[in-house]
Amino acid sequence: MVSVNTHKSDIKTPCPALMIAAPSSGSGKTTLTAGLAWHHRRQGRRVKIFKCGPDFIDPMLLTVASGSSVDNLDLWMVGEDLCRQHLYEAACQYDLILIEAVMGLFDGEPSAAHLALRFGLPVLAMIDASAMAQTFAALAFGLKHYEPKLNFFGAVANKVAGAGHAHLLESCMPPDTWLGWLPQVDPWPERHLGLALPHELPDLEQRLDQLADMISEHAMAKLPPSVEFEPVSCPVLPTLLQGRRVAIARDAAFCFIYPANLTCLQALGAELLYFSPTAHDPLPDADALWLPGGYPELHAQALSTHPTLANELHTWRAAGKPILAECGGMLVLAETLSLSDGSCLPMWGLLAAKAIMNTRLSAVGPQAVDLGLGPLRGHTFHYSTLDTSLPPATWATSSHSVRRGEAVYRDGSLTASYVHLWFSSHPAATAALLGA
């Protein structure tokens, strides 16, 4: 890792904070987190949301709900020090911190519960009660007592059939842990990678208003207790990319971008130049290119018919300029992209490969990539495969599995894989990928 200078303050800062967790994915964590944020914003509070684990889609919706960018917290990928720094800085600037957990509360290693324990976060459990009665209380009891040191704030029932059902659920619960209920509403349409994107929901604010109205009728609307957040030594990165311009594809097809990755590039000294391939923008005059993931399959026609980009990219690589392509950014560099409806479109042809969209999840999980300077951490999550005879330069490693990770391809100045990298996990390796 790079050496850093540090600065540390010793003043702890209190701020109301709450982790919204659940027994499993699909229980309604995002719905409740967004609704709580909107409710408290309507009360005039400044709200900061964090998302546990690697995720791009939920944070887009939560950014709208909170009015501020959503950063990720993960003890493995992000690291404890940066998680602590994010929380402390949020406590200094906001009136409320909300953290949306990932999967089930105790799922994964490390889990959302590990994060809550590490930073003393109170936990609210969102439980899908649509097909249960007294078992709701048993689930809440289990979540509360499975880890005795966990600060369990209470439980909210989701997808409740009506007032009678809600009364039955409440009657089984200790009064201090029942925080209310939400009806059987499904406010967010979904697709293969997750929720629809905010720009696809023209009535998003009305949906948030309806949620906040329902939340305001229950104890879940109250401010959670304050947590004292400690400062941490803040790294000052060496400006390894000083004077270098990094072009970044950024639009509806290339939207899987961690805000912290942009902050890392800027801290390394890079000037960031954004362009939209779907709008047929030309490739900017830059020194390096990052093609992040996103939804190229939803915009394949516009990407396929870009009038200049394929030629510009071939010229770029011939000049030895670095290209970093992640997941969807790699698919558009293939020769063709086959869509789930059976159609096949030509892509930009930098990789001797065919990209194929599937109807089932192909891979998911935390992974790390080491290209010689040390491991860059990240994750993989995709519904596609790459059909190629290209030999991988190396393979990513999975942090929690004995199975081999994703293939990493290198062809001249191009580096491509399915792994979404967390740049701050190894800034020097990131800078090297972009030509430092």
| Residue 265 and residue 246 in contact, taking contact as beta carbons nearer than 8 Å | yes
Asked if residues 17 and 194 have their Cβ atoms less than 8 Å apart, the reply is: no
Task: Reduce the DSSP state of residue 142 to 3 states and report it.
Answer: helix
* 8 Å CB contact between 313 and 286: no
Q: CB of 371 within 8 A of CB of 433? A: yes
Phi, psi of 396 (to 5 degrees): -70, 160
With beta carbons less than 8 A apart as the criterion, state whether 354 and 315 touch. no
Q: Among residues 83, 92, 327, 344, which one is catalytic?
A: 327
The radius of gyration of the chain from alpha carbons, rounded to an integer in Å, stands at 23
Question: Across the beta sheet with 344-346, what order do the strands follow?
Answer: 344-346, 336-338, 353-357, 384-388
Contact in structure between 35 and 213 (CB atoms under 8 Å):
no
**52 classed as catalytic:** no
For residues 246 and 436, give the distance between their C-alpha atoms in angstroms, rounded to a whole number. Answer: 11
Whether 362 and 384 have beta carbons less than 8 Å apart is answered as: yes
Q: Is the dihedral of CA 388, 389, 395, 400 positive or negative?
A: positive
**Strand, helix or coil for residue 324:** strand
CB 405 within 8 A of CB 308: no
CB atoms inside a 10 Å sphere around CB 389: 6
Q: Using the structure block, give the residue that is written with the tokens 């020194």.
A: 287
CA angle 359, 254, 366 (to 5 degrees): 65
Contact 395, 405 (CB under 8 A): yes
The residue with tokens 């790390």 is: 368
Backbone dihedral angles phi then psi of residue 12, each to the nearest 5 degrees: -75, 145
Catalytic residues: 327
